[in-house]
Amino acid sequence: MMCDLGCFKWIFARMGFALLGGLLFLGGGMAMAASPAVSDDSETCLGCHVGATPGIVSGWKKGRMARMTPETAMKNPPVSRRISIDKPPEKLAAVVVGCAECHTMNAEKHKDSFEHNGYSVHVVVTPGDCAVCHPTEVDQYGLNIMSHAYSNLQGNPLFRSLGDATNGLQTFENMKITQAKPDPQMEGDACLFCHGTKVEVKGMTVRDTPDGEMDFPLLSGWPNRGVGRINPDGTRGSCAACHTRHGFSIEMARKPYTCSECHKGPDVPAYKVYNVSKHGNIFSALGGAWQFDSVPWTLGKDFTAPTCAVCHISMVVTDDGEILSERTHSMSNRLPLRLFGLIYAHPSPKSPDTTVIRNSQGLPLPTELTGEPATKYLIDEKEQAKRLQTMEKVCLACHAQGWVDGHFARLNKTVQYTNDMSLTATNMILAAWKKGYAKGLAQQDNPFDEAIEKMWVQQWLFYANTTRLASAMVGADYGVFADGRWFLSKNNEDMLDWLKSRGVRN
């Protein structure tokens, strides 16, 4: 075989690493030289990357996967084992999870694979790659509505109109505002930042690096860590949305800050609400002394009040090892209702793919415009009761039934009230469309882009959602004057004023 330039670089890299490893060894036996069983391939990556991307290498070294081999992990009892395979693949069993294990995994499935110093490497490590060792989490995540967040938005013409009305550039001419369609860059910086982009290979580029010229793929929608990202191997989502690279820690995912990145705006204020709740308060005051790394996670010993993960995701055990709640990466099995109003709160959808939903008018919405649920696509009462019970089991670890019953009775009342307040606003927008003061669906126009339409959107998207989430997660401050009931009532008055100012009388 002829050895071309790339091949020489590769040999050089290996020699370079051996030298570096040796130096580290002489210098105190720390770092890579002391780490257990790194594969030869990963050692080659490290040889260059300790210089090319030192932050990535040090981040990886701090993570559990740089210290644990699948084989060692299998020795732990199932309840504290952090992998979910029965038997690790032979080649991967006795080495830690290094650069090559992830970035060359399933190379043939990755459209983003590229020749990189003798290896077929891909940049975008996906749920499909993690599934080799974590199949349970990946399967469950596939059932999570989050993994569908890209397509639920982009595959629904009505939701896309909402995106267009939010992001498109407006220009003013002849007493008219015209709004252009947003471009992909803009979308990647707006809705798709959280929902996820579509990552595709758009060609190759040559970059000059400290190790010489190299070819790299040009990726669209990159960078992105959205929960429903469409990956170049066809899989959905990014595990790094909650387990940031390259530590991929459980600790980070269990802390509420992780969720705050996407669950904070007036449409989705779970974090803000949690932050002012008693639970969030206890976390802020006492959380510094809690153990966020233990598996299993023991109530009372490791933590004393719930974080987002405790109520929505975690496996929680008691001091004597009884499992109070099973871990779930799908989350919906604890959610009876979809509080997020589209445009009303409603029973949770049956499928995480919400693009299949049609109401009786044929609109891709889970309720009628007047609020009645599109029941065919939503879970029934029996399933709702089951999910409520699963959630309540978590509460009941720290509260008595009376406390919990009282809480959910209030939430139900709030759901009814906010739906009714949204209906009042909807009746006004229907009147505005009917009388021709705004152009809506019947005129085949964007129903979200005119002044009164934006008021209507704020009613259900901001104020009703905020009030409901404040009730569900006991952050009362947000349910009243901050984006809450005050604005629900004021907004209805403002909408009526707008109609009257056009001369609408009845």
Residues within window 436-465 making contact with ligand HEC, judged by CB under 6 A: none
Min separation Cβ 352 and ligand HEC, Å? 8
Q: By CB under 6 A, how many residues form the interface with ligand HEC?
A: 138
Rounded to the nearest 10°, the torsion over CA 62, 65, 67, 71 is: 170
Residue placing its CB nearer to ligand HEC in the complex, 342 or 452: 342
Helix (H) or strand (E) holding 12: helix 5-26
Per-residue three-class SS string for 79-122: HHCCCCCCCCCHHHHCCCCCHHHHHCCCHHHCCCCEEECCEEEC
Asked if 379 interacts with ligand HEC (CB under 6 A), we say no
Task: Tell me which of 20, 31, 38, 153 binds ligand HEC, using CB under 6 A.
Answer: 153
Query: Tokens 């759901």 — which residue?
Result: 415
Min separation Cβ 497 and ligand HEC, Å? 26
Asked if 130 interacts with ligand HEC (CB under 6 A), we say yes
Strand spans (E) along 256-392: 297-298, 316-317, 323-325, 337-338, 346-347
Per-residue three-class SS string for 449-474: CCHHHHHHHHHHHHHHHHHHHHHHCC
Min separation Cβ 45 and ligand HEC, Å? 3
Q: Find the part of the chain contacting ligand HEC (CB under 6 A) among 169-177, 370-378, 387-395, 436-444.
A: 387-395
Task: Tell me which of 394, 438, 482, 499 binds ligand HEC, using CB under 6 A.
Answer: 394
Asked if 243 interacts with ligand HEC (CB under 6 A), we say yes
Task: Tell me which of 21, 112, 113, 141 binds ligand HEC, using CB under 6 A.
Answer: 141
Residue placing its CB nearer to ligand HEC in the complex, 67 or 500: 67
Helix (H) or strand (E) holding 203: strand 201-209
Min separation Cβ 431 and ligand HEC, Å? 25
Q: Find the part of the chain contacting ligand HEC (CB under 6 A) among 307-315, 425-433, 435-443, 488-496.
A: 307-315
Residue placing its CB nearer to ligand HEC in the complex, 237 or 499: 237
- Residues 160-179 within binding reach of ligand HEC (CB under 6 A): 162-163, 166-167
Q: Find the part of the chain contacting ligand HEC (CB under 6 A) among 23-31, 95-103, 375-383, 496-504.
A: 95-103
Asked if 350 interacts with ligand HEC (CB under 6 A), we say no
Q: Find the part of the chain contacting ligand HEC (CB under 6 A) among 25-33, 210-218, 370-378, 418-426.
A: 210-218
Asked if 317 interacts with ligand HEC (CB under 6 A), we say no
Q: Find the part of the chain contacting ligand HEC (CB under 6 A) among 31-39, 46-54, 419-427, 450-458.
A: 46-54
Query: Tokens 């009243």 — which residue?
Result: 480
The token pair at 61 is 């070294």
Contacts of 135 (CB under 8 A, 6+ apart): 84, 85
For residues 258 to 277, the per-residue mask of contacts with ligand HEC, x marking binding by CB under 6 A and - elsewhere, is xx-xxx-x--x-xx--x---
CB 348 within 8 A of CB 161: no
Length of the chain: 506
Task: Tell me which of 41, 200, 302, 445 binds ligand HEC, using CB under 6 A.
Answer: 41
Cα–Cα separations (whole angstroms), residue 473 to 244, 371, 468: 26, 24, 9
Euclidean distance between CA atoms 441 and 369, whole angstroms? 11
Compute and round to an integer the Cα radius of gyration of the chain: 26
Asked if 82 interacts with ligand HEC (CB under 6 A), we say yes
Q: Find the part of the chain contacting ligand HEC (CB under 6 A) among 420-428, 438-446, 471-479, 489-497.
A: 471-479
Residue placing its CB nearer to ligand HEC in the complex, 339 or 499: 339
Euclidean distance between CA atoms 439 and 452, whole angstroms? 10
Closest CA to 56 of 46, 64, 65: 46
Asked if 227 interacts with ligand HEC (CB under 6 A), we say yes
Residue placing its CB nearer to ligand HEC in the complex, 303 or 487: 303
Asked if 236 interacts with ligand HEC (CB under 6 A), we say no
Asked if 253 interacts with ligand HEC (CB under 6 A), we say yes
Closest CA to 131 of 77, 78, 92: 92
CA angle (379 as vertex; 375, 384 as ends), nearest 5: 125
Euclidean distance between CA atoms 486 and 480, whole angstroms? 6
Contacts of 399 (CB under 8 A, 6+ apart): none
Residue placing its CB nearer to ligand HEC in the complex, 92 or 378: 92
Euclidean distance between CA atoms 397 and 331, whole angstroms? 19
The token pair at 200 is 């595709």
Q: Find the part of the chain contacting ligand HEC (CB under 6 A) among 294-302, 374-382, 431-439, 488-496.
A: 294-302
Min separation Cβ 451 and ligand HEC, Å? 18
Half-sphere exposure of 52 (CA within 13 A, CB side): 17
Task: Tell me which of 279, 359, 440, 482 binds ligand HEC, using CB under 6 A.
Answer: 279
Task: Tell me which of 31, 38, 138, 369 binds ligand HEC, using CB under 6 A.
Answer: 138
Asked if 94 interacts with ligand HEC (CB under 6 A), we say no
Task: Tell me which of 112, 137, 233, 483 binds ligand HEC, using CB under 6 A.
Answer: 137
